[in-house]
Amino acid sequence: MSRARARVLKHDPATAGPRRDRLAPGAAPRGRPAATVMPAPALALALALAAALGAGAGPGCFAASPDMGPPADPVADAWAVYGAGRFDEALSLFIAARGDSGDAALVGRALNGEGWCYLRLDALADAVAAFDGAVTRGADGADPLAGRAGARLAAGDARGARDDARIARALEPAYASFHDALGAAALDAVALLASLRLGDLGAAQAELDRVAPGNGLDPADPSSWVVGGAPFTYYPPALLAAADAALAP
């Protein structure tokens, strides 16, 4: 798997979010990193969490009903634009909604939206910084943790990604995104991929058992090291093959 290349964001913990002077409301993000290419298995479920990390990110699922009229909540307005697939524009709206507001709840929700926009735009360091601010403020439950898990996995921080996925699962076992078509299975996929990257085979097997119950692999039984009809001499390659098959589209 290739390592994602992300820009280094100088982040002030006191603001708990990306620097506001980085993007003026209505302006497009500048200096985006090159798109990260992840293998197909990762894109199957783990990016359900990072839909823009491979080719062709489509619109999100959140959209206002035509008869609702303009939302009174600027964060809801920004999510509607995100749902239409206009991530640059949505990012500007989330930043404008945050503004200089002293409302910690609104700021947290806006930062979560910023994080998902940055993730869609493959600006991984910015995404992590925005999700940090949302998590600190307790915004949107497990959603910013799920986003940060995807961003950290793509950026090569496997341990941080796994920690976030596990915390998100504990917080919301039936996690379902309100803006994209992803749920708890995506968190399981991130935890599996992160465990494999860490070389933690025991944890990877446990995560595989969540993703693909009845996969039949037993680390102590060489006769079980068969995936798709192909026998393996060693357990680690068999585990990798089984994970690959479980996460395939």
Residue 66 domain-assigned (yes or no): yes
Which tokens hold the place of 227? Answer: 């995936």
Cα-Cα-Cα-Cα torsion 133, 183, 47, 216, nearest 10 degrees, comes to 130
Residue 56 domain-assigned (yes or no): yes
Residue 103's Cα: distance from chain center in Å?
26
Residue 120 domain-assigned (yes or no): yes
Render pLDDT for 115-173 as a digit per residue (tens, 0 to 9): 999 999 999 999 999 999 999 999 999 999 999 999 999 999 999 999 999 999 999 99
Within a 13 Å sphere around the CA of 196, how many CA atoms are in the beta-carbon half? 23
The 3-state DSSP composition of the chain as helix, strand, coil percent (nearest 5) reads 55, 0, 45
Looking at residue 110, its pLDDT comes to: 97
Residue 102 domain-assigned (yes or no): yes
Looking at residue 22, its pLDDT comes to: 44
**pTM above the 0.75 mark?**
no
Residue 211 domain-assigned (yes or no): no
Q: How far apart are CA 19 and CA 114, in angstroms?
A: 12
Number of domains in the chain: 1
Residue 1 domain-assigned (yes or no): no
Residue 113 domain-assigned (yes or no): yes
Residue 12 domain-assigned (yes or no): no
| Ranges assigned E (strand) in the chain | 226-227, 230-231
Write phi, then psi, for 147 (nearest 5 degrees). -65, -45
> Whole domain around residue 28: which residue ranges?
20-198
- Give CA separation, 200 vs 2, 158, 159, 190, in Å: 19, 11, 10, 14
Regions of the chain where pLDDT drops below 70? 1-71
- Give CA separation, 97 vs 16, 84, 94, 175, in Å: 15, 18, 5, 26
Looking at residue 49, its pLDDT comes to: 54
Per the CB < 8 A criterion, the answer to whether 122 and 35 are in contact is yes
Distance in Å from the first CA to the final CA of the chain: 17
Residue 9's Cα: distance from chain center in Å?
18
Looking at residue 60, its pLDDT comes to: 52
Which tokens hold the place of 191? Answer: 């935890």
Per the CB < 8 A criterion, the answer to whether 153 and 141 are in contact is no
Q: Which CATH number characterizes residue 105's domain?
A: 1.25.40.10
Q: How far apart are CA 218 and CA 28, in angstroms?
A: 51
Looking at residue 58, its pLDDT comes to: 45
